[in-house]
A and B are shown apart, each in its own frame.
Chain A
Amino acid sequence: MSNAPDPIYSVENLCVRFPLAQPFSEMIAGKERPTVRAVDGVNFSIRRGEILSLVGESGSGKSTIGKALLRLLDPKVITGSVCFEGKDVSTFSKTDLTTFRQRAQMIFQDPYQALNSKLSNFYQVAEPLYVNHLTKTKEELYERVRVAMDQAGLRPPESYMGRFPHELSGGQRQRIAIAGAMVMNPDFLVADEPVSMLDVSIRADILKLIVGLREERGVSCLFITHDLSLAWLISDRIAILYLGKIMEIGKAEEIAANPLHPYTQSLLSIMPKLELRKEGKRELLSGEIPNPTEAPKGCRFSSRCPHAMKRCSEEEPAMSDSGEGHLAACFLLDEKKA
């Protein structure tokens, strides 16, 4: 692991706006095209060797942030800056981008769709190597694929190489996808809901793999999940997202023990505890996450917040620091401090 204390990623005021369909009549009238704000002003950084979790419901912009970090989105829809080791990813030259693509990798949610069903597992994993001409000899290619598959827990690797994805179980496929990412020896990994399609009995293996990569090779990771308890389990810090904005960010233990934002409190209270629940301990929110094209004014959580005040629907609360990097955006905190 490098000793550089600077963050591997720093994201400042990231906004992603996807254009929506517009009627032709409005288009020729020169009206501005309507957009949906998938991500709306997000700030965070990821330190070297850190696992940061993004937690939120669907439509909160988790995956979009992951893609923005890896420069997988059209630059036209992005504003704000995403810096990888101090350099803005949007300014990368072609050569910069080639190295960047090798150093930052992604694991997708659905191992049934992420693999090419016509490629054997060996080529699945080897593809990024020969596309980038990274190996000189066949032996070297074989060796690197073997090591990557072994690291991903496919043991013995030889027995998997000749087989095809359809011959494998969901967990094994996800391991192939991870081996495909690992073969490039990346420094950074975006794991987008890597276990949500898997049976509970094999979730732990995949999570251990991600934690192991961090511990052995210092790989930093953005872990995207809707499950707060998994985020708490493996990450150093957690960011809670709601409708494209971070509501709360802080150390994983702090978020679990002392949640500041009402949304986090509610998410935490509905987490199954595997013990008998005391009556009335659940703080269920009503309704669903609003449509991001018509996000509520003021605090975007105000339409579902059990503690919403008049002020909440008028102005937007800023992030306030409660010490040790634990930040939350809520007016209730200002009142507490005052």
Chain B
Amino acid sequence: MALLEVTDLHTEFAVGKKTLHAVDGVSFTLEQGESLGLVGESGCGKTTTALSIIKLLPGNAQITSGSILYQGEEVTKKTRKGIRDMRWKEISIVFQGAMNALNPVMTIGDQIADAILLHENLSKEAVKARIAELLERVEIDRKRATNYPHEFSGGMRQRAMIAMALACNPKIIIGDEPTTALDVMVQAQIFDLLERLRRELRMAMILITHDLSAMTDTCDKAAIMYAGKIVEYVRVADLFTEAAHPYTRLLMSSYPRIGSERKMIDSIPGTVPDLTDPPKGCRFCDRCPEAMPICRETPPPEILLPGEHRVSCHLPSLIQKEGAKHV
């Protein structure tokens, strides 16, 4: 049994009188100790997928269908209390802006203690020891537990956030763009830390990023999302040679490859379609250089390629590829 199994998840937002289909039929599984990267442009439903899993969706959003199984239990049917017991203890999340995610009037130590005490009945000393251990895990001096967030640098705040996410030994940690707004070197340090912690603590991780290059060092598998759907699901080891979906290939060509031949990078013309009224056929068809008439009419089939590789595309070269199976 997989640790987390998301099947055909649909999450919708009520925007005025319209419905916005932010997540539209997303399926993936996560095994223990595995890390999955959710990649895509802004507005593709990556964060909404993550928030659906721990049910932190804003008031105007709801999961309309699909199932989220955590260790065989249905998350979507859990009560408020059930969810609260699961959050942080089983699945925790590191938010995007470490600057804004911490409470400015509480010390770092107290904020971590909050998370621990909600789930575990520990003595004051035990909590203190646990905070010191957590801070050292993320390479912050244990004495700094009495500091306030404004006394920390951006990188340290993000480390403190990670320490907080680890407070109750969760089995899954979700990183929602954990390094945006941080410096390149600090970014690399944070990814390095997450990767090391994941190995040491045998945690599973979902890393949400708009930066395809950022996840290549940290993830085992990549799910490329476009307009609320996963268009390609592939092992990172195969991504560079086997990327099949036109969107994935275009994304890859929008990064310069320093050290190789200097070639101008490509852009993807157009923008993500309006998700209150998504296109009938393939959602990428308006921006796809290889679009055919059929792409506008019917949603693409999901094709299974060898090596846990799934692509949703009409391209005949994929459909007729050796070993390809239709779903």
Contacts and interface: CB of A to CB of B under 8 A. Distances in A.
A229 B210 CA distance: 17
Given A169-B271, A201-B268, A267 B211 contact: no
Nearest to A225: B184
Interface residues of A, number: 41
B41 A229 contact: no
Contacts of A288: 153, 155-156, 183, 185-186
A282 B264 contact: no
B265 A270 contact: no
B63 interface: no
B213 A267 contact: no
B268 A202 contact: yes
Given A203-B265, A229-B258, A233-B264, A272 B213 contact: yes
A57 B155 CA distance: 12
Interface string B142-169: 0000000000010110000000000000
B59 interface: no
Interface string B132-150: 0000000000000000000
A57 B254 contact: no
A109 B254 CA distance: 19
B192 interface: yes
B263 to A, nearest CB: 8
B155 A199 contact: no
A257 B260 CA distance: 9
Given A276-B240, A288-B155, A57 B183 contact: yes
Interface stretch (A127-135, A204-212, A314-322, A326-334): A204-212
B189 interface: yes
Contacts of B189: 284-286
A170 to B, nearest CB: 9
Interface string B88-124: 0000000000000000000000000000000000000
A36 to B, nearest CB: 16
Interface string B253-280: 0111111001011111001000000000
Given A276-B216, A276-B237, A200 B185 contact: no
B26 interface: no
A65 interface: no
B214 interface: yes
Most chain B beta-carbon neighbours within 10 Å: one of A199, A207, A274? A274
Contact of A199 (B42, B184, B264, B266): B42
Interface in A249-286: 252-253, 256-257, 266-268, 270-277, 282, 284-286
B188 A282 contact: yes
A227 interface: yes
A267 B184 contact: yes
B267 A204 contact: yes
A201 B224 CA distance: 14
A160 interface: no
Given A204-B264, A253-B262, A232 B185 contact: no
A228 interface: yes
B42 to A, nearest CB: 6
Contact of A202 (B213, B258, B267): B267
A200 B255 contact: yes
A57 B184 CA distance: 7
A267 B213 CA distance: 15
B184 A274 contact: no
Contacts of B254: 200-201, 203-204
A256 B256 CA distance: 12
Contacts of B252: 274
Contact of B265 (A204, A282, A284): A204
A232 B267 contact: no
B205 interface: no
Contacts of A201: 41, 250-251, 254, 267-268
Most chain B beta-carbon neighbours within 10 Å: one of A227, A270, A272, A282? A272
B242 interface: no
Contacts of B192: 282, 284
A109 B8 CA distance: 39
Given A199-B210, A272-B217, A284-B192, A256 B264 contact: no
B212 interface: yes
B184 A233 contact: no
Given A200-B255, A274-B213, A276-B236, 16 more contacts: A57-B183, A169-B271, A199-B210, A201-B41, A201-B268, A204-B266, A228-B258, A229-B255, A256-B258, A272-B214, A274-B240, A274-B257, A275-B216, A282-B217, A284-B185, A286-B189
14 contacts: A199-B210, A202-B267, A226-B184, A229-B256, A252-B262, A256-B259, A266-B185, A273-B216, A273-B259, A274-B216, A276-B237, A277-B217, A284-B192, A285-B185
Interface of A: 57-58, 169, 199-205, 207-208, 211, 226-230, 232-233, 252-253, 256-257, 266-268, 270-277, 282, 284-286, 288-289
Closest 9 CB pairs of A and B: A272-B213, A204-B267, A201-B268, A270-B188, A233-B256, A229-B258, A57-B183, A204-B265, A229-B256
